[in-house]
Amino acid sequence: MVSIWFGTQADEAFSEAWHSKAANVHFDGLNSIKSKVYLSPKLWYLRIGVIEAQDVVLGDKMRYPELFVKVQVGNQVLKTRIASLGSGRSFSNPYWDEDLMFVVAEPFEDYLLISIEDHLGLSRDEVVGRMALPVSNVERRLDEKGAVSRWYNLDTCEGKAVGFGCRVHLRASLEGGYHVLDEATVYSSDVRTTAKQLWKPSIGVLEVGILGASNLVPMKVKEGKGGIADAYCVAKYGQKWVRTRTVVDSLSPRWNEQYTWEVFDPCTVISIGLFDNSRVTGAGSRDTRIGKVRIRLSTLETDRVYAHAYPLLMLHPSGVKKMGELHLSVRFTCANVLNMLHMYATPLLPRMHYVVPLSMAQLESLRHQAMSVVAARLGRAEPALGREVVEYMLDHDSNVWSMRKSKANFLRLTKVVGWVVAVGRTMEMSRSWRRPVVSAVFVMMFMVAVMVPEIVMPCVLLTMAGVGMWRYRLRPRHPPYMDARVSYAESVHLDELDEEFDSFPTSRSPELVRMRHDRLRSVAARIQTAVGDLATQGERFQALLSWRDPRATFLFVVVCLVVAFGFYLVPIRWVVALGGGYYLRPPRFRSRHPSCAISFFKRLPSNADGML
């Protein structure tokens, strides 16, 4: 019996049509080829303020106790510092006043485990009291107002009575005013707060058609079929994850599936990854990455359909490799243009991130915790979304150091400041008078700008507006995609790639690690020298009035007094005109020696004299 189904994704029978592709699938992997829409769990920041404890009974009263509080939520464990003996406090009443941050997900299934422990030595801690508190009982707050602190009684530990009245003072709250970052900040797909009450209306709809892929690299070998791939796509935007069905035994799969997302901020990124399903045969456990595409919504014109093939680039220890092409159809529809334009003037993150900010170290640690929570929840779905897929989509290793990324970021920086170099070259060309006509015109324009300063800003702004309008016809016609040249992946050394793919801690030979360590030391030495030179220049500015060099500070003070009277007597435009004319004078009227001001500045002392 043969049946054929024709239809679209909107049909009710679409979800069951995957059976037509299941003929060559192992029975255990049959469920892994389904399409699925996942919802990421709602994540909350859990703030635990450990204030103090009271009537702590110590086992050994002949030693100075080193008491700290350990807080555990799921597999997240944090500890406070060791309590110091303050004025008016005894050993049995330690004081910490320290905040600890965790990531939890709704529905709240975990318990908050709090224990007071005494540090006895290396890897030796004695529990003197503990308690358990359901996370669901913790107070929720939406603003910066502090949570109400409470005293909690400690339970017995190890079958011994802790003692009468032994308790701990805590301030616990679920922070709904933050946005829990679970992906790299630069590729964020959602910036809304956790609490739905603080959400603003959506500004539009994003429609993505995952059409297919072509020219894929074979990912596995099957008997009698040669190299093939069992490919599927995963798209992530906001809290919504989608997974297409798996097309088995094909290097040019076609999905033709369409998905939509609500958009709350145009300056966000949708990530679409392509993977090889290793569970189809029932032998594999980890799906293999094929490539990923990122599209920033702000680069899309509204109500325009972008149908384009995006190259899939992957970095391997042997170098960058093109894994194929992903065909997508994207359209961003805006409901209200004024609301969207207003978003550009609002802060990127919610208000709590600026009122009660978190440190960069905290944000990075919490991001990895959030990533683990999301991976655990999506791994329990059916079909499961593997941890390797979630980590790749959320850029788990985005902050891992590599020589290649360092060089790529340096090249990006030099390209950004290239206009400063171009302006400097133009100034130097005008100052050199190699082209007398150009230099004379430049000097005349400078004098006009000095004498009529009110036209400077209008001319600058009109020039920038003109350049922007001129470049409108040269705007990109397709959304940008991953570029091997920008990533510095085309000319990178193979040893640097091997170092980037090395495990942590390293698994390479001691000789190779020693060589890489010496190379890193040489690079760090150049950075150290550059930072030291920059610090020296800043300290010389501070030395102008610090009287570290009494004679230099005396000369600087006298010059300041004389120049102050000069500025009072002479109009500022004449001072600027004379100074600019002196700077742009022809080379025949210049000396090859440094000026008096530069010579004076280079003679000033710095704190480098006191370094070992």
- Looking at 361, 393, 425, which one is the last position of a domain? 393
The pLDDT score that the predictor gives to residue 27 is: 60
Cβ contact 14:245 at 8 Å: no
Give alpha helix (H) positions in 284-359.
337-343, 352-355
Q: What's the whole-number mean pLDDT along residues 354-365?
A: 90
Verify that 240 and 304 share a domain, yes or no.
yes
One domain for residues 221 and 328: yes
Lowest mean pLDDT among 54-68, 256-270, 401-415: 54-68
Is residue 410 assigned to a domain? no
**Residues 183-192: pLDDT tens digits?**
888 888 999 9
Please check whether residue 106 lies inside any domain of the structure: yes
Mean predicted confidence (pLDDT) in 46-51: 92
pLDDT in tens, 449-479: 888 888 888 888 888 888 888 888 888 777 7
Same domain for 318 and 240?
yes
Q: Which of 608, 435, 430 is nearest to 533 (CA)?
A: 608
What's the whole-number mean pLDDT along residues 153-164? 58
Write down the pLDDT at residue 205: 94
Is it the case that residue 236 has pLDDT exceeding 90? yes
Indicate whether 196 and 266 sit together in one domain. Answer: yes
Please answer whether residues 339 and 203 qualify as being in contact, where contact means their C-beta atoms are separated by less than 8 angstroms.
yes
User: Of the segments 2-16, 259-273, 529-543, 573-587, which one has the largest average pLDDT value?
Assistant: 259-273
What is the pLDDT confidence band of residue 212, given thresholds at 50, 70 and 90?
A: very high
Ranked by mean pLDDT, the top range of 141-155, 231-245, 482-496 is 231-245
116 burial (CB, 10 Å; 0-12 / 13-18 / 19+) is buried
What band does 413 get if pLDDT is binned at 50, 70 and 90?
A: confident
Q: Is 360 in the same domain as 223?
A: yes
pLDDT tens for each residue of 321-348: 889 999 999 999 998 888 888 888 888 8
Task: Examine the domain organization and report whether 279 and 326 are in the same domain.
Answer: yes
Out of 344-353, 431-440, 452-461, 588-597, least confident range = 588-597
pLDDT at 583: 79
**How many domains does the chain contain in total?**
2
Region 71-85: mean pLDDT is 88
User: Which whole number is the average pLDDT over 374-392?
Assistant: 90
pLDDT score of 534 more than 50? yes
- Considering the domain architecture, whether residues 127 and 190 belong to the same structural domain is answered as no
For residues 54 and 29, membership in a common domain is answered with no
- pLDDT score for 14: 65
Task: Indicate the pLDDT class of residue 262, thresholds 50, 70 and 90.
Answer: very high
Quickly list H helices, 236-311: none
Please tell me the distance from the alpha carbon of residue 385 to that of residue 375, in angstroms, as a whole number. 8
The answer to whether residue 30 scores a pLDDT higher than 80 is no
Mark whether 288 and 387 lie in a shared domain: yes
Q: Which residue has the higher pLDDT, 69 or 409?
A: 69
Residue bearing the bigger pLDDT, 406 or 157: 406
CATH number at residue 326: 2.60.40.150
Q: How far apart are CA 577 and CA 575, in angstroms?
A: 5
Q: How far apart are CA 286 and CA 389, in angstroms?
A: 9
* Confidence tier at 13 by pLDDT (50, 70, 90): low
User: What is residue 162's predicted lDDT score, i.e. its pLDDT?
Assistant: 45
423, part of any domain: no
pLDDT surpassing 50 at residue 163: no
Residue 467 lies in a domain: no
pLDDT of amino acid 582: 77
pLDDT at residue 38 greater than cutoff 60: yes
Residue 105, domain extent:
43-175
* Residue from 297, 294, 290, 270 nearest 213 by CA: 290
pLDDT band at 377 (very low <50, low <70, confident <90, very high): very high
Instruction: Please state, for a pLDDT cut of 70, what percent of the chain lies above it.
Output: 91
In a domain, 578, yes or no: no
Q: Once rounded to an integer, what is the mean pLDDT over residues 503-523?
A: 83
Q: Do 224 and 332 fall into the same domain?
A: yes
Residue 289 confidence (pLDDT) above 60: yes
The percentage of the chain sitting over the pLDDT mark of 90, rounded to a whole number, equals: 28
Q: Name the token pair of 61.
A: 């009263």
| 505 part of a folded domain | no
Note whether 326 and 387 are same-domain residues.
yes
Better-predicted residue by pLDDT, 134 or 423: 134
Cβ neighbours for 124, distance < 8 A, ≥ 6 positions apart: none
Report the chain's mean pLDDT, rounded to a whole number.
84
* Beta strands 111-121; 124-134: pairing state: antiparallel
Beta strands 254-263 and 124-134: pairing type?
A: unpaired
C-alpha 14/C-alpha 272 separation (Å) is 22
Same domain, 278 and 197: yes
Residue 172, helix vs strand vs coil: strand
Residue 288 resides in a domain = yes
Which of 226, 320, 240, 307 is CA-nearest to residue 38? 240
Domain-terminating residue out of 147, 175, 203: 175
Is 580 a member of any domain? Answer: no
| Residue ending a domain, choose from 154, 175, 196 | 175
- The pLDDT of residue 283 is 61
Distance in angstroms (rounded) separating the CA atoms of residues 310 and 273: 11
Q: Who contacts 464 (Cβ-Cβ below 8 Å, separation ≥6)?
A: none
In the predicted structure, residue 498 carries a pLDDT above the cut 70: yes
Tell the residue number behind the tokens 């076609």, with chain if given: 254
| Residue 159, pLDDT score | 47
Q: For residue 550, is pLDDT > 70?
A: yes
